[in-house]
């Protein structure tokens, strides 16, 4: 049973992979489950998120400048949008202020969500097991509050998961480049 986000310690959140294919994740604070995020089929971008208070659908559209739209389940109008750009991504929730999503560093696969003024809202660090995404740690800034915080946590994780899966697909297409074979007689240089 999902518990309300306001009732848990938001500094101890973890995404745990609960199913491989199609992918599914659970957001927990200790032993308490706060949200779920599930893809109904492998390889698609449509996902369903559930919390104690709401449920949303999330779907990516577009190719060169993708946009992720979040809708309350069963409704047409989006309640949030993530616009992806090359190195920075923007999130808007309703008519509220915007947020920026960026890699925290080039060396660590972590992500930072900040306000337009640069104040950190979330820090998300994916965890890999044998190069496969197994979950992630989420730190919500104690200065952040409001009803949209959980939506930001879920939307950010959705984007991190899609980015991770796209990187895995690209790695699978890259041929292994081992040492060059020895050049012997009769072989072309």
For residue 142, what pLDDT is reported?
81
Q: What gap in Å lies between CA 74 and CA 48, rounded to an integer?
A: 11
Tokens read off for 106: 């080039």
The DSSP output letter for 97 is -
Which candidate, 33, 27, 79, places its Cα nearest to that of 58?
A: 79
Q: What gap in Å lies between CA 164 and CA 122, rounded to an integer?
A: 18
For residue 72, what pLDDT is reported?
97
Q: Residues with Cβ < 8 Å from 115, sequence gap 6 or more?
A: 97, 99, 100, 121
Q: Which fold has domain 5-165?
A: Porin (2.40.160)
Please say if the pLDDT value at position 171 is more than 60. Answer: no
Cis peptide before 10 (omega within 30 of 0): no
Phi, psi of 159 (to 5 degrees): -65, -40
- Alpha helices of the chain — where are they, by DSSP H? 149-173
Please say if the pLDDT value at position 182 is more than 80. Answer: no
Q: What is the pLDDT of residues 87-110, one digit of tens each?
A: 779 999 998 889 999 988 877 789
Kindly list the domain boundaries of the chain, sorted by start residue: 5-165
Higher pLDDT pick, 56 / 147:
56
Lowest-confidence region among 65-69, 81-85, 88-92, 169-173:
169-173
Please say if the pLDDT value at position 169 is more than 80. Answer: no
pTM, 2 dp: 0.86
Q: How confident is the model at residue 186 (pLDDT cuts 50, 70, 90)?
A: low
Pair 93, 79: CB distance under 8 Å:
yes
- Please return the burial class of 115, using the count of CB atoms within 10 Å of its CB with bins 0-12, 13-18 and 19+: middle
Please say if the pLDDT value at position 178 is more than 70. Answer: no
Three-state DSSP class for residue 172: helix
Which candidate, 66, 53, 16, 10, places its Cα nearest to that of 38?
A: 16
The residues pairing with 44 across neighbouring beta strands, listed in sequence order, are: none
Higher pLDDT pick, 108 / 85:
85
Pair 8, 28: CB distance under 8 Å:
no
Average pLDDT over the chain reads 87
Residue 77 CA from chain centroid, whole number:
22
Q: What is the pLDDT of residues 21-75, one digit of tens each?
A: 999 999 999 999 999 999 999 888 999 999 999 999 999 998 888 999 999 999 9
The residues pairing with 19 across neighbouring beta strands, listed in sequence order, are: 24
């Amino acid at each position: 049973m999902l518990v309300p986000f306001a009732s848990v310690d938001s500094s101890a959140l973890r995404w745990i992979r609960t199913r491989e294919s199609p992918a599914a994740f659970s957001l927990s604070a200790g032993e308490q489950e706060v949200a779920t995020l599930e893809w109904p089929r492998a390889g698609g971008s449509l996902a369903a998120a559930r919390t104690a208070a709401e449920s949303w659908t999330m779907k990516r559209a577009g190719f060169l400048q993708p946009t992720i739209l979040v809708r309350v389940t069963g409704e047409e109008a989006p309640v949030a949008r993530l616009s992806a750009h090359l190195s920075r991504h923007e999130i808007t929730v309703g008519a509220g202020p915007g947020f920026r999503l960026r890699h925290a560093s080039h060396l660590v696969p972590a992500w930072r969500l900040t306000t337009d003024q640069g104040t950190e809202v979330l820090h998300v660090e994916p965890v890999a097991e044998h190069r496969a995404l197994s979950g992630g740690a989420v730190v919500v800034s104690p200065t952040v509050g409001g009803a949209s915080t959980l939506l930001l946590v879920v939307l950010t994780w959705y984007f991190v998961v899609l980015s991770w899966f796209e990187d895995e697909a690209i790695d699978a297409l890259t041929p292994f480049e081992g040492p060059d074979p020895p050049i012997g007689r009769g072989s072309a240089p």
